[in-house]
Amino acid sequence: MKDRFDYKKAALITIAIAIAIRLALVFLYHPAGDACWHFSASRFIAEEGNLPSFEALGRDEPFWPSPLFHIIAAFSYRMAGDFGMKLVSPLFASLTLVFSYLIFKKLFDEKTSFYSILFLSFIPIGLDYSTFGYVEAALSFFVILSIYFALEGSYYLAAVSAGLSMLTKYNGAFVIPLMLFIAYTRHKGDNKAVFGSFSKIIIISAAIAAPWHIRNWLLLGNPVWPFLNFLFHGIQQASYSAFDLSRFLHPNVLIYPYLGFFGVPDGVLSNIFFIKLPFIKIIFAGWLLATVIFTLPLAFGFFNRIDKDNETKNNKEIKNKKKINNEKSILIAWILFFLIQALIYIPNTGWSVSRFFLPALPAIAAIWAVGILWIFNRTPKYSLVIKSLLIIIAVGFVFTAFFKISYAANSWNKYNDDFGWIKENTEKNSAFIFGGQCGTYSINRQSYQPTEENIEKTDYAFVNQEFPLDARTKIDGSILAEIEAKKLIYENKNTGTKVYSLREKPSS
């Protein structure tokens, strides 16, 4: 029986809804974590007109990451302030959905393309990083754009896009072997075409990315600082030089990425139980069951081909189903190349690697779509029940994203009076002791971590030993005693925040 459902129209409606959700989340979102550091750097670029180097922008380390995201966010800041910066990730994420759909249409039929975009639109990690002020949304866009052009055979444009992805984040380099793989599969047997496409991809992308790596080599002694510092012997500040292979033997090597995929910040379970809700354990159990159900089609997509026995006699559909099987190697390669970076990161830094898969999320979505269609073909009597269940789970994911982002924003907003007082009553060029990454962003002052050495560099100290949003704000006893011996200039008993002037002694 011919399927009369308009999958193309449904896909376009899904994309429109997904974009609307991402833009709506911006109005609730408050930057936290790495986003504070990235936005502080962007604000610095906008206000100073140059790239930061060793300024204290929330980390006790120099500014090393590829700067394209920060430059774009700086332009947005000049146009629309902090809200302009927050718009950057959702706009890139929206474009990512569009170009991902174009890739799906090149590889698959309309039905598979629809279910692929359905997964991509509502998977929690996609919702999160489409909103967060992290560089991953921009990185994913340029990676996917380069893959789209590579599939089109436009290798000049593909190489430019790949170069821009590397200028957004080091990780963009992992798209290069995938593009070479695509070019090879397209021109297999034609050595001249293979060599020509390889040359375009490598030379152009490297030329775009190289200047920043040269800058880091000259300034920091390592072109990929802080990574591989044990090879390059760059400056020894906060480098990721540890290497612990035993991390691969720990259950967290699977738990962290799984939880991260479904919206648990960094995959750390305690980040969920931080939220004060009645019946939180029961809610979590229900949520975990929903994630397992939503994940099952991936297994069928990886390990099963499209069922030929139930194929329609329509020649176009038969051709499309064969095309799915032929192109699945590209999807597997796409995932594997970005899996490599996670495997490198785990022994160096830790298990929180789920966001490294964001540029490969469309490939995962397509395999999920192949799996869900395989299930539908096997269980036609229950397909309506399964579809209804998927819709309920997707709605639950969206609701959870809104709740989580608004809860976090409200937690930060409790301290707006403290941050506002600092901005109004301290010098713009003053420096603060304020642990964690969000000090500089929150008070628009350079901020240092609470150490003995940094006290000598700073003018004020933000003190709140019960600050729940970043444990690094807490100050050790001896340093705290030294700060409390200085002049107290602000206290908010409702929040527990105190501000000390480190250049003044208390009045007798």
Q: H/E element holding 175?
A: helix 175-187
Burial-class residue 18 by CB neighbours within 10 Å (0-12, 13-18, 19+).
buried
Q: What is the pLDDT of residue 344?
A: 86
Q: Which residues contact 84 (CB under 8 A, 6 or more apart)?
A: 73, 76, 77, 78
d(CA 279, CA 277): 6
Give the pLDDT band of residue 102 (cuts 50, 70, 90).
very high
Considering the chain, what percentage of its residues have pLDDT values greater than 70? 93
Higher-confidence residue: 311 or 30? 30
Parallel, antiparallel or unpaired: strands 460-463 and 497-501: antiparallel
pTM of the model as a whole:
0.91
431 φ, ψ (degrees, to nearest 5): -125, 145
- Is pLDDT of 406 > 80? yes
Task: Among 72-86, 222-236, 302-316, 381-395, name the most confident range.
Answer: 72-86
Q: How far is CA 359 from CA 356, 384, 408, 458, 506, in A?
A: 7, 31, 26, 40, 54
Q: What is the pLDDT of residue 316?
A: 47
Tell me which amino acid residue 211 is. Answer: P
Count the alpha carbons within 13 Å of 379 in the hemisphere toward its beta carbon: 12
Q: Count CB neighbours of 227 within 10 A.
A: 20
- Is pLDDT of 317 > 50? no
- Is pLDDT of 273 > 80? no
Higher-confidence residue: 289 or 325? 289
From the list 239, 204, 243, 208, the residue with the least C-alpha distance to 224 is: 239
Q: Which residues contact 87 (CB under 8 A, 6 or more apart)?
A: 26, 76, 80
160 φ, ψ (degrees, to nearest 5): -60, -45
Q: What is the pLDDT of residue 269?
A: 77
3-state secondary structure of 65: coil
Return the axis-axis angle of helices 191-220 and 175-187, rounded to nearest 10°: 170
Residue 226, preceding peptide bond in cis (omega within 30° of 0): yes
Q: What is the pLDDT of residue 308?
A: 40
Q: Which residues contact 288 (CB under 8 A, 6 or more apart)?
A: none
- Mean of per-residue pLDDT scores for the chain: 90
Could you tell me how far CA 300 lies from the centroid of its own chain?
A: 27
Q: What is the pLDDT of residue 508?
A: 54
Tell me which amino acid residue 451 is. Answer: T
From the list 32, 30, 24, 93, the residue with the least C-alpha distance to 58 is: 32
Parallel, antiparallel or unpaired: strands 460-463 and 431-433: parallel
Q: Count CB neighbours of 336 within 10 A.
A: 15
Contact, 125 vs 358, CB < 8 A?
A: yes
d(CA 442, CA 31): 9
d(CA 137, CA 144): 11
Q: What is the pLDDT of residue 323?
A: 46
Burial-class residue 150 by CB neighbours within 10 Å (0-12, 13-18, 19+).
buried
Chain segment 154-204, per-residue pLDDT in tens = 999 999 999 999 999 999 999 999 999 999 998 888 899 999 999 999 999
Contact, 292 vs 148, CB < 8 A?
A: no
From the list 118, 106, 111, 108, the residue with the least C-alpha distance to 147 is: 106
d(CA 469, CA 274): 10
d(CA 247, CA 348): 9
